[in-house]
Structure 1
């Protein structure tokens, strides 16, 4: 196993805030995953979540990809991590952050012990309070298509010290993205809407890169507009 390479919470948070997105992707062809990472880097997106498929091959792939992430200077994390043993294996393989679809105290403990950022999934106010008790500073809100921006806005008001990342039901439609960022999202989590199955299947990397670039620019414009509006409001 490789030595753990830690990334501070502030560095990850700043990167997510700048990018406005956590891109996540998995494919059984490791070369396609690497190509996606290269596209992200060319589009100045410096973070990537590898959503492994809970098998030994996924861990081997991640170990190799973590080395490539060093070369590309990309923060790489492991997603869909379900228990402490999985978390530990991915941390030792080089994960900068661990994302889980739900709360798990043992996963939190392993991440804290290794100084690796833990991003749990939460679906209720109780979940968020529990995540806070387990020292989570970044929290995924899911499923976004059911909870919606109104839930996010409420939970941000109650827990302004936590940064929230909606996942599921997040699309590249401007009104959808606008709603999430207006509600207080740090960034959004996007997968197939960035890397469509059809484009990846035929390796149309030019189309994929164009899609990623437009998405990042659109998110940047939304966040800039919100910052400008907030600045005007404060000055008044």
Structure 2
């Protein structure tokens, strides 16, 4: 396995590569070929969003059949979501925001939670609960690169994965920041390419993303 059965920390996951593909999976049968296409392009982490009925089954199949990929879930909104992701074999969970119930479920839980924040107050609450690896969402709408630069001064120990409005064109601006370990984006594996089974194009996009381009 990619992690030899060891529970990976949020920081280890975020440092695996510069770009985490954010995927909406509508058909679980696409999960394994998608994971193999990403792996062929040098991507080792994928976020399957819980926006479709196929998401958990897709995570289950990737975890079982392509263990070299670190598969996790996005759009995790509740403690039940978090438990379901862990039971499906997911190795991490990402939420767009934060709630007391999610914090409680994640404390000493089987997989790391990377909660989303958009303001300094939300960041302080997450830090107070022991979270130092956070999703900055929605990145572009919440101030983008300039906001992250401003947050670095008072919060030097926080590591971010910005998501929301990140593209091939602007990802380098985010990756140049010292408090950004990776970005999340949907351009590597968009739904239309997945639906067509265009795995070669996805691999090509993954190559560019894995190199930080």
2-side partners of 1:183 and 1:151: how far apart? Answer: 11
Q: Does 1:149 align with 2:157?
A: no
Higher relative contact order (CA 8 A, sep 6+): 2
Match of 1:171 among 167, 170, 175: 167
Q: Map of 1:1-236 to 2, 5 A cutoff?
A: 7-9=7-9, 12-53=10-51, 55=53, 57-70=54-67, 73-146=68-141, 147-173=143-169, 176-184=170-178, 185-191=180-186, 193-219=187-213
Displacement after TM superposition at 1:109 (Å)? 2.0
Output the TM-score relative to the length of structure 2.
Answer: 0.87
* Alignment CA distance shift 1:23-1:93 (3 Å): same
2-side partners of 1:178 and 1:58: how far apart? Answer: 29
* Alignment CA distance shift 1:151-1:196 (3 Å): same
Equivalent pair of 1:111/1:118 in contact (CA under 8 Å): yes
2-side partners of 1:35 and 1:8: how far apart? Answer: 24
Displacement after TM superposition at 1:205 (Å)? 1.6
1-side partners of 2:90 and 2:130: how far apart? Answer: 19
Secondary structure in 1 matching 2:47:
strand
Secondary structure in 2 matching 1:145:
coil
* Alignment CA distance shift 1:30-1:7 (3 Å): same
2-side partners of 1:107 and 1:69: how far apart? Answer: 28
Displacement after TM superposition at 1:138 (Å)? 1.2
2-side partners of 1:129 and 1:203: how far apart? Answer: 43
Displacement after TM superposition at 1:183 (Å)? 2.8
Displacement after TM superposition at 1:186 (Å)? 0.9
> Greater helix share, 1 or 2?
1
Equivalent pair of 2:31/2:61 in contact (CA under 8 Å): no
Tell me the C-alpha RMSD between the 2 structures. 2.0
* Alignment CA distance shift 1:111-1:68 (3 Å): farther
Greater C-alpha radius of gyration: 1
Provide the aligned length of Structure 1 versus Structure 2.
207
2-side partners of 1:62 and 1:28: how far apart? Answer: 12
